[in-house]
Structure 1
């Protein structure tokens, strides 16, 4: 028992899985679901009106906003579906979640000139999702 756990309360369940990792996995699923839905909205805004976002400065990785809109829309749908799969405990969802969260981190890095603060927040959430999904070794549903 660690010093961080309450007296009489173990910080691991009967199968030896860290409760922090299991809770982190559930939170990662929620973050992916919400971030995916926001990505869909971000994509729709980029597709519907090509002047919604203004690029800050000159940047090496240039796409027009319609292209970025489609990237965010498709990635957002995939991330949201994977987040729902993680919450349901689907066997495919953890590995897919790590891959998509990593891809979303790269996409948000490339998207930095358009929404710098939100891109940094999304990158931080993606890093947490990757950590949470990689540290939870249980094969049982998280919800």
Structure 2
């Protein structure tokens, strides 16, 4: 028995060669890039809010006495504010699929990962969630770049 040909738009899973894992992986990675842009955008906004809070009232965060990476929270607030603004701009760039935004996005997610490691004693749960999201953003942005390069 032969199969009747169908139009590419007749079934949601058709339109690509059956069994072609590259197309599905490419779609997954492209979706990951959009998600990475949204995560950087939201994380940047939250960093701005955390930075403003630390600048305005650094006694709102836990007082850590014996932490190796102890620092002035007002100064750290300025760092978070600046990183947040750059992350928001980068997130918007990722949503427009700008090449510069993928490069800066990996850099910003790396900086955010390190910053959240240093932030662990002040906000442990928040820092661990941010570290996980930053690692995922780095993967999504580097996987997107490698699939584009591999297709050339």
What is the TM-score normalised by the length of structure 1? 0.85
Identify the match of residue 31 of structure 1 among 35, 39, 43: 39
Pick the structure with more helix per residue: 2
* 1:24 to 1:50, Cα distance in 2 relative to 1, 3 A: same
Give the structure 2 partner of residue 52 of structure 1. 60
User: Which structure's relative contact order is higher, taking Cα pairs within 8 Å and 6+ residues apart?
Assistant: 1
Identify the match of residue 14 of structure 2 among 8, 27, 32: 8
Instruction: Indicate the SS of the match to 2:59.
Output: coil
* Residues paired across the two proteins, number: 132
Instruction: Indicate the SS of the match to 2:88.
Output: helix
Which ranges of structure 2 fall in alignment gaps of 5 or more residues? Answer: 1-11
Q: Could you report, residue by residue, the CA deviation over 1:23-81 in whole angstroms, capped at 9, with x for unpaired residues?
A: 00000000000000000000000000121101356210011110111111111111111
What is the TM-score normalised by the length of structure 2? 0.80
Identify the match of residue 109 of structure 2 among 96, 101, 120: 101
In the TM superposition, structure 1's runs of 4+ consecutive aligned residues that sit over 3 Å from their partners are 6-13
Give the structure 1 partner of residue 128 of structure 2. 120
Q: 1:96, CA displacement in angstroms?
A: 0.6
Which ranges of structure 1 fall in alignment gaps of 5 or more residues? Answer: 1-5
CA contact (8 A) 1:109 1:123 kept: yes
Q: 1:8, CA displacement in angstroms?
A: 3.2
Larger radius of gyration: 2
Give the structure 1 partner of residue 3 of structure 2. none
